[in-house]
Structures are given as structure tokens and as C-alpha cells.
Structure 1
Amino acid sequence: MKALFSVLLACVLFAACKPSTVVNFDNPNIHYSGRVGIKKDAAELIWTASSVVVNFEGTGADAVLSDSKGADMITVVADGKVVQTLKPKKNKQKTYELVSGLQPGKHRLELFKRTEYQVGTLSFYGLKLHDEGKILPPPVYKHRIEFYANSITCGFALEDTTGKDRDEGFQNGYRSYANITARHFNAQYHCIAKSGIGVVLSWLPYIMPEIYDRTYPMDPKSKWDFSKFTPEIVIVNLFQNDYHTLSSPTHPQFKARFGTTRPSAETIIAKYQDFIKSIRNKYPDAKIICALGSMDSVEPGSPFPGYVEKAVATLGDKNVYSQIFPYLGAHRHPNAREHEAMAKQLISFIETKFGWKGE
């Protein structure tokens, strides 16, 4: 009897200690969304909404990660449900448990960078699938969608329920209207966005037309290969920061670009059109939605909704549209509920204009 018990115990321990299956970052079944940099030993997630997505068969998974600053926040999603938020250590390669205890079978796992590029760069070295798990072919998306945008689309202060517009720890690109829209349509989603950025003038020393074509936003030599991803729809939601900076003649960025003279409405519209033309040059067949809102750039009396609408009307491109989000009524960033309302409006616009259907 004692011998039989020992055999049974050994079998149980063996079953409980099945080795993990190592899946390196460069495995072709790993799907990357966003402008991801590929290095010798890791994939680097840079922009908001960059993500790693895998299908696998098993009961759980770990990931080997490190972060350039130790401040990035990573949303972990298993089978469509958020299971945790990770904050990987600074410059320290470490294994993190993503999910465990799943029912044996097929599952989908996503690591989603919810923070902006200045917060840090996430290095993804690979996965360890529990209990001899098996990686499966990558997900198939029904559509492709891309955003060029600012802090609103980044989800700045989205989770700050105090209304104080705080950023630290409250930014969540996963819950932004853009990602809600992409998920609704089962669309692969790229997000080129930065808080404080504008088309004509930013709070920063650079504007979107100067960095929109980069893999690493602060490296002018890191030109993105636009043939890697061709969106069906491009949404441009900028001009919020231009609205304020162009009314701040004493700001260093205003002085650096315009001296003491504010550019005319005609100049502002022309520069916006130039940026839209740049996008059109990259994507000849895409539908382009020129959006604005829902912060105070669309408040009563603002000229910027008119700038967008005139730019679209006079561009001479039948596949460029305007979409103005209603003013949220407060001088702050939209919260989670307001992002959901924005997504509902954008989804309705896309369904009506282009006939897309939700999943």
C-alpha cells in the first residue's frame, strides 16, 4: 500500500510540474499591433495602444518583460476580459505571471500598453505557456483602423474620478474611445498619439506632421514602413492643443514658430490640409475622418470646428469626412463614461457612412 501511495504521489507531482513552453518574441504566431520596434532579443512597445496578442492552448501564461523607466502600465486581457494591470520593473528583465488557472483549451491573451511613449518603452522577450501549452495561429482581424491624435485618444486622466485631470496612474488607453471603437469592429488598431501635440503648434518642441512617420517618435531616423499596415479608416483627432497654444503668444513654442504674430485662419487650415494630404499620400485608398473634440476646442465660440469642416470641404477629396464630437462641458479630459459616449458616436458614424458591422 505504501509503495502504491508513493507511485500515485509521484504521478500527481509529475502532472503538477509539467514544464512551460517557451515562445520567443520573434515567433511568427505572435501578433503585434502598433508601431513595434524589433530588436535582436526583444520587441519594443513604444506608442500608446501597442500590444502583443496570441492565441494559445493551455491553462495560463507568463511573459518576460522589462521597461525603460519602470513606469509603463500594461493591461492584461484574457479571453476578452481585463485580468490585471502590470507595471514592469525598470531595466530589469523579469518573468511576470499574466494569467493562470484557465480551463484547459483554446484562449486569447493580450498585453496592451496603456501609457504613452514618454512614460517608457516596454521590452517583450517572450512567453512561457503553462503546462506544456501550445501557441496557435495568430488572430484574424476583420478591419484595420489608425488614429493620429493627442491626449484625449491616449486616455489621459480617464480614470481620475475626482475631475482634477490628474495623469499619474490615471491614464488608460485601453478604455479610450479609440480602442473601444476598434474592439467593436474587431479591427487591428494603430495609435499615433501624444499628449500636448498639435498640427500647427504644440506645447512641445515638435508637432504631429514632424513625427507621424516614425517608429520611435524621438528618433528622426526611425522611419516607419507604411507598407506594414494599411488601414481602411484613418481618424485624425488633433487641434485641441493648437486651440490653446495659438492663443498663447508668450509661450516659447509660439515664439519659436511664429514670433509675435498669430497665423491667420487661412494658414491654420492650409497646414491642417497639408497634414491630411501627407496621410493620403501614405494611404491612397483609406477613408479619412477629420475629428475634433470633445474638450474645449469644440466649446461654443471656438473657431476650430469650422477650421476642420472648411479644410475638409475645400480639400477636394471625396473620401475625407468631418466628425465633431459634442463639447463635454468642462475644461478637463473626458472620463471613462464620456469616452464610451464618444465611441458610441464614432461607431455610429462609421456604421452609417461605411457600412461596417460590429462583432
Structure 2
Amino acid sequence: MKTNRVLLFLFVFSIISCNNDSDDGYENIVSYPSILATFGNTIDTDNLDNYANQTIPNYITKDNGLINPITDKGATLGRVLFYDKKLSSSNSIACASCHKQSNAFGDNVIASTGVNGTTGRHSMRLINARFSNETKFFWDERATTLEIQTTMPIKDHGEMGFSGTNGDLSFNDLIIKLNEVAYYKELFSFVYGSEEITEIKIQNALAQFIRSIQSFDSKYDAGRALVANDNQAFSNFTQQENLGKNLFLSPPQFDGSGSRIGGGVGCAGCHRAPEFDIDPNTLNNGIIGTINGTGIDLTNTRAPSLRDLVNPNGILNTTLMHTGNIPNLQAAIGHYNTINLAPGNTNLDARLQPGGNGQQLNMTGAEMSALQAFLITLSGSDVYTNSKWSSPF
């Protein structure tokens, strides 16, 4: 009998010892059984994916995430939240339903689908959202930070349905709902040291995951790494791609009527290399229709990075512009080639109306093709398949 007690003591002691040793593989089983049961090998709390210390090229200098630094733990929780349909009132829509990894975390339809039908816009790509001086989000910039933006779709009646209006449950009801999910109890404890779920914690985790989604493995990046600045010819580019780069970077020269007589086409005035982020001071770009193609729509001045406009197969990831009415790169280039001053557009960016006239870039067919070829070099491949940005479920 005494021998049995000793053996029982040693068995219990061994379990406790294993539980206290984070390197022996038992911590997941003892401390986080629901994470293990739900996610299997997709999330290993002892061996997290690298979100916090990814390689960033030395020529990339813009960073809007310093107030909420990425951690491996926080981004892991953010990944689960991003893909979890429980965050919608109908358990049918997740953030990832509209921000699809296969489309550079954008949506390939004109208007995204929410719990109550189509929404007012298509979801913009989230590629390299961290690497921008623009801190506002949504097409109309109504969210002052990414953190604030992350829960606004959840609290929208049309998108994810926890609005607290129109008969919807409230965001607090969502928190109550998540409190009943065992793997969230463990994840919030794992990340924050407490099972308590709050909106701020959800916002911070989602924002960390989104800012971790980066793409720097493009043909452009391979060429940029070999030169001192963007204005030098890239040795890995074709002559056409280098021409397109020069056109993109160089400002145009106009005559008094707004007609281009020399120089480039000035895309970089608003879409600034090497991040290709949108200048926060940009105004309307000449697109004034609503999502249905009619009416004045002047306040939508946000744009995602121009990186990963197309996927590795050269197919456009999302329809273009805030209205989604531009179906391809040729049409987008054509729009900027000839800017017409539309009645009622009091918010047109000054860079598009030299001398008070709508710009006429007068691009040749060869120049348009070169500009398109350059834009395609901004696309990578890793972001579409990397498992750390994929669904953990």
C-alpha cells in the first residue's frame, strides 16, 4: 500500500513538473486544452508563428503601428478573431469573409456581403497596412486608427450585426457570447494574463494581426535592394518595366491648359514609393459616383497600398476605386490619363487639375503598357499562401 502511494505521488509530481516546463510539450495539454482541441497543431502556444520580428527591408521607413507593437501572442489571438464567424450575429461572417487571403486580404466583388445583405462598399486590401503615414481607415477615413476600425464592422448592422440598433444585439452581447467560448478564455489569459474580454483587447489583437500582414517579396523589392534609390534603373527589370517606373515616379510637366508636354505621369505624388502608400493629404481622385454608379461621392479619399494589385497569376485581386467600378489596370490608368472636371466636385485633388484644368496626360499606348507592367512588379507571392495568415480553424 505504501508503495502504491509513493508511485501515485511520483505520477502527480511528474504531471505538475511537466506543466511548469514550457519546453516539454505538456503545457498545451494541461494549461490550454481547448486551444489544443480546437486548433490542433495550427496554434502551438509553445512555438508561435513569427509576427513580431519579420524581416522588413531597410528602405521601408513608414510605420503607423508603434502605439500598439506587434507581439506573437497578440497577433495569434488576432488571427483567431479575424477568422472566427462567431464575431457576427448570425455566425456566418468573419473579417476574413470580406478580406480574403486569396485576394491580398481584399474582396473581389463590387460590394461585400454582410449579415444583412450587401454592404455599402467593397472591402479594401489590407496588404502592408502598417507601412503608411495614413492612420485613418475606411474609404471615407471615418476611423481615426486601425484599432478603432477593427470593431466598427462588427458593430455595423449590415456587416456583422452587433449594432445594438434595428433589433440587433449589442457589442456587449458579443463579449458575453465570446466569454462562453472555452478557447477564448484560454487565449485571452494566454495573451493578457486574464480571461477578461474587452473591446480594447479585441481591437489591439486584431490590429496586431492585420499590421503583421506584409508583402516584400515582389520583383520590385528584388530590384530595389540592389540600388541606392528608386530613381536608378533596376537591373532585374525589363526596359519596359524601368520605363513604367520612371513614368510613375517622375512628375509631369504641363502647359497652361493642363496638357502634359513632358516628364512622367506623377503617380508617386499620391502613391508614394517605396511603400506605395496613399498620401494622407490626398483629396478626391475624380471618381464621384456612389457604389451604384450615381450621385456625388466626394469624401472617399482613402486608398490601400498599390502593392499586390494583382495575384501571382497576374489577375486583379479586387475591383478598383472606392466604387469598385474600375475593372482592370488599363481602365485605372485611362481614368488618370484624362481627368474631366465634373460639376459639383468641389474636392478634386489639386494635383489632378494643373492650372485649374483637369489633367490630360496624353500617354501613348507604349507608356500605358509600361506603367501597367511596372505596377505588376509590386506584387509578391508569399502573402497568398503563408499559413500564419491563414485560417487557424
Question: TM-score of the superposition, structure 2-length normalised?
Answer: 0.24
Hey, which of these two has a bigger chunk of helix by percent? 2
Q: Which has the higher contact order (CA 8 A, sep 6+)?
A: 2
Question: TM-score of the superposition, structure 1-length normalised?
Answer: 0.25
Q: Which of the pair has more CA radius of gyration? A: 2
Hey, which of these two has a bigger chunk of strand by percent? 1
